[in-house]
Amino acid sequence: MNDEDAIWLQSLPKEKLVNLFSLQISNIWRVDGLYFLGIEESFGTDAATNIDKNCWSSLAKMEARDLAELLELKNRDLESLMEALRATSWALYQEAKEWQVFSDRAVFRVTSCRTQKARARKGLSEFPCKKVRWAYLKEFAKAFNPEIEVNCIVCPPDKHGEKLWCEWEFVLKPK
């Protein structure tokens, strides 16, 4: 972004800036979905999933580093991890989510998944996203703090309820 763009963005009212930011997050996920569907159609779900997993794993490392710097997160504890995770494009895209931080662990859950709902609207089967999301979250946590372990509680293709699509646990390994 050049200086002229920065000045223009700074001149926008806060509400319009937030809406623009939200639109760009949606656009990122539209592109993700479109390329995934294209690969899936040409080469199958397994190939698309493996490519998706590799892309999101690479992004996770960069995103964790950049968010920790941007948000000035000096502490690399579970609370700070959840603050960084909450600011990811994945978490911001999910409208229905919950997170909790306890003394020994943190939990992040998606209670209604926009990606899965979009697939259902198109008449597509549920995407078995566990491999992709787990790789992403493991790399994100590792880049943030190598002592944080990620456990999958539930994620498709696991059976889940209508009010819980995925749930992830983050545990700070004892020293």
Residue (of 23, 59, 34) closest to 115 by Cα position: 34
pTM, entire model: 0.91
Average pLDDT per 10 consecutive residues for the chain, totaling 175 residues: 92 96 94 94 95 96 97 95 96 94 95 91 91 97 97 96 95 86
End-to-end CA distance of the chain: 43
> CA 107, CA 65: separation in Å to the nearest integer?
21
Per-residue confidence (pLDDT) for residue 138, from 0 to 100? 98
> CA 12, CA 31: separation in Å to the nearest integer?
26
User: Backbone phi, then psi, for 161, in 5-degree steps?
Assistant: -85, 175
Per-residue confidence (pLDDT) for residue 174, from 0 to 100? 81
> CA 44, CA 31: separation in Å to the nearest integer?
18
On whether the CB atoms of residues 81 and 100 are closer than 8 A, the answer is no
- C-alpha 1 chain-centroid distance: 24
On whether the CB atoms of residues 73 and 84 are closer than 8 A, the answer is yes
Per-residue confidence (pLDDT) for residue 85, from 0 to 100? 97
Per-residue confidence (pLDDT) for residue 93, from 0 to 100? 93
Per DSSP, 158 falls in state S
Three-state DSSP at 73 gives: coil
Topology classification of domain 3-172: Muramoyl-pentapeptide Carboxypeptidase; domain 2 (3.30.1380)
On whether the CB atoms of residues 108 and 97 are closer than 8 A, the answer is yes
Per-residue confidence (pLDDT) for residue 1, from 0 to 100? 82
Per-residue confidence (pLDDT) for residue 29, from 0 to 100? 92
> CA 77, CA 79: separation in Å to the nearest integer?
6
Per-residue confidence (pLDDT) for residue 162, from 0 to 100? 87
Per-residue confidence (pLDDT) for residue 15, from 0 to 100? 96
On whether the CB atoms of residues 142 and 90 are closer than 8 A, the answer is no
Domain boundaries, the chain: 3-172
